[in-house]
Amino acid sequence: MERKTIDVVVLGAGAAGMMCAATAGTMGRSVVLIDHATKLAEKIRISGGGRCNFTNMNTRPECYLSQNPHFVKSALAQYTQHDFIKLVESHGLTYHEKTLGQLFCDQGSGAIIEMLKLEVDRAGVLWRMQTPIGEVRRVDDGFEVDAGDETWCCASLVVATGGLSIPPIGATGIGYDIARQFDLDIVPTTAALVPLTFQPQDMWGELAGVALEATEVSAGKGRFREDILLTHKGVSGPAILQVSSYWQPGEPVTINLLPDEDPAEFLASANRDALLSTVLAERLPRRFAQALAGQFGEVKPLKQYLPKEMSAIAERLSAWQVVPSGTLGYKKAEVTKGGVDTKGLNSKTMMARDVPGLFFIGEVVDVTGWLGGYNFQWAWSSAYVAGLNA
Ligand code: FDA
């Protein structure tokens, strides 16, 4: 092993790692950025359908889940969505806003990777891609990190190795292992922003491909008004991905199919000679309306349903409850919920309270954003403050 001395070692060259390395390098620190992947920042590349939803105009602490909901405040205030937008603009990139404040890069996600790479290069950071990380040791004046055939001696060690989602593109639990090695707690991890699976009896036949627009979906404390998409295995779409972060196994998910009106009034004002399925199809996709009507026995004209059946139909429209059998797991999850417990970290710097010089940033930390650019903003903000202090 060749021994080398450097100020800062950053583990993981994803969104957070590149941002942190560039910031620390710009501060005059010597930095090496180490990653085992062959291709740089694959998660940025596949994000936002290839357009990278790089931040959200409405970023605020309430859009994050963590055991300590206050933890994100300082970093998000020190490096805001507007700071990242300025960076994007300074590279001549353009963007557009989709729904709900989501900003996407017009030049595609590759341009965001190139921008960050350029920032890292400008800051004079050393790259070590395709480099497996070995042992990490605490020594008197910092840390030693074995990586490939080198041992790096550093004053500051930044862990930016992300979460567990999408293992084929490089996700590992190494960040959690390093945290445990230094006696930091780990909040149990689960797949989040992930499609939910249903029991076969809740699937109502072949509805895969049906999209329900602007439904209101809730689970636990999460409530979101967005589209849902029925799939072969269950449900997906933005509203479901959002509530998946709040859903606990065994609990129901409640779907309000008609959030803008009182379903009892809608049914009362409908043509009483029309079939239930025809009436429901005035508000819902036809295939779905037919399947839903079939849930109440033989499909009949509205006038033939008893009052208590009409109440049950109205109830189903405003609060369709299903207990998911699970999720599609880390293979399909956009993020990992849980991670390095924020109790052990300083929220202003991301440094471990009891291990001076050791930092955790990005998704490896117990901070999970909503869908819509919030997770990248957390990566940029947490990385920036660590870069200033590493
Ligand atoms: P990230 O995962 O980006 O980087 C971690 C790095 O560490 C990787 O390069 C990895 O190779 C490296 N690493 C891991 N283990 C290692 C080891 N043992 N040795 C060496 N290196 C190791 N968010 C958002 O805000 N907007 C969006 O549009 C999307 N879209 C999206 C789509 C899909 C399909 C996914 C899976 C995720 C998203 N996200 C998203 C989430 C977003 O990608 C995620 O929150 C950030 O990439 C997290 O950044 P980090 O730098 O923390 O981890």
CATH architecture observed for domain 196-327: Beta Barrel (2.40)
pLDDT score for 203: 67
**Structure-block tokens of residue 319:** 């609060």
pLDDT score for 206: 79
The length of the chain in residues reads 390
Q: What is the distance in angstroms between the CA of the first residue and the CA of the last residue of the chain?
A: 25
Q: How many angstroms separate the Cα of 181 from the Cα of each of 27, 137, 341?
A: 29, 9, 14
Looking only at Cα atoms, what is the longest distance across the chain? 84
Ligand 1 pocket test target in 47, 97, 385 with most atoms within 8 Å of CB? 47
pLDDT tens track for 79-118 = 999 999 999 999 999 999 998 899 999 999 999 999 999 9
pLDDT score for 262: 97
pLDDT tens track for 179-231 = 999 999 999 999 999 999 988 777 666 788 999 998 999 999 999 999 999 98
Ligand 1 pocket test target in 85, 161, 176, 359 with most atoms within 8 Å of CB? 161
3-state secondary structure of 166: coil
Closest residue by Cα to atom 49, ligand 1, is 15
- What does the buried/exposed string (b/e) look like for 175-187 if buried means 16 or more CB atoms within 10 Å of the residue's CB? bbebbeebebebb
d(CA 194, CA 48): 14
Closest residue by Cα to atom 2, ligand 1, is 162
3-state secondary structure of 280: helix
DSSP 313-325: HHHHHH-EEE---
d(CA 270, CA 251): 34
Report how far ligand 1's centroid is from the alpha carbon of 12 (Å): 9
Decide: 174 and 47 in contact? Cβ < 8 Å.
Answer: no
Closest residue by Cα to atom 32, ligand 1, is 47
Query: Cβ < 6 Å from ligand 1: which residues?
Result: 12-17, 35-37, 41, 43, 46-48, 52-53, 133, 160-162, 165-166, 170-172, 174, 334-335, 362-363, 373-376, 379
d(CA 297, CA 277): 12
Closest residue by Cα to atom 21, ligand 1, is 35
pLDDT score for 198: 87
Give the torsion through C-alpha atoms of 205, 208, 210, 211, to 10 deg.
130
Hey, what CATH topology would domain 2-191+335-389 get?
FAD/NAD(P)-binding domain (3.50.50)
* Residue ranges of the chain with per-residue pLDDT less than 50: none
Report how far ligand 1's centroid is from the alpha carbon of 162 (Å): 5
Which residues, in sequence order, are CB contacts of 332 under 8 Å at separation 6+?
Answer: 191, 194, 195
d(CA 65, CA 243): 11
Decide: 197 and 326 in contact? Cβ < 8 Å.
Answer: yes
Where are the domains positioned within the chain? 2-191+335-389, 196-327
d(CA 4, CA 27): 20
**Structure-block tokens of residue 284:** 């819902």
Ligand 1 pocket test target in 20, 43, 120 with most atoms within 8 Å of CB? 43
Is the model's pTM score more than 0.85?
A: yes
pLDDT score for 27: 98
pLDDT score for 205: 64
Q: In terms of DSSP H, where are the helices of 80-134?
A: 81-90, 109-122
